Structure 1
Amino acid sequence: MGALLWLLIPVGAGLVAAAWSSWALRNRKTGDVAELAGYARFRDAMEKQHSVPVPDPAPTASDSA
């Protein structure tokens, strides 16, 4: 009977380890979806071609002659 009690210790430890590992490897959803959507909007904004008009150079004294 004493041998069976000693056998329960590693079996119990194995069950506790299995329960802990399944908890540690669970699929967590931490809100990365919102961060990824924000990054996608940022990337889209950076890829857009913005047309900025180039100002005409100021006339100089030599241009009027």
Structure 2
Amino acid sequence: MAALAWLLIPLFAAIGAAIWGSWAARDRTTGDVAELAGYEKFREAMQKPRSGSEAA
């Protein structure tokens, strides 16, 4: 019975590693839409010509 316990420890470790690996590699791009829209607004604002008087 002790040998079975020693064989189950690496099995449970491998299963845990597989679960953690799949969780760590999950797709996290769902929240990027709002951030990309904000970045696009920032780029548009930076490309606009300056208003007001410019020093010559």
Same fold (TM over 0.5): yes
Higher helix share: 2
TM superposition shift of 1:25: 2.0
The verdict on how the C-alpha distance between 1:37 and 1:4 changes in structure 2, with shifts beyond 3 A counting, is same
Structure ID, larger Rg:
1
Counterpart for residue 7 of structure 2: 7
Identity of aligned residues (%): 61
Number of residues of Structure 1 aligned to a counterpart in Structure 2: 54
Alpha-carbon offset, residue 19 of structure 1: 0.8
Residue 43 of structure 2 is matched in structure 1 by 43
Q: 1:2 to 1:41 in 2, by over 3 A?
A: same
The one-letter code matched in structure 1 to 2:38 is G
Gaps of 5+ in 1: 55-65
Moved over 4 A (4+): 50-54
TM-score, reference length from structure 2: 0.64
TM-superposed CA distance for 1:22, in Å, is 1.0
TM-score (norm 1): 0.58
- What do you get for the CA RMSD once the two structures are aligned? 2.5
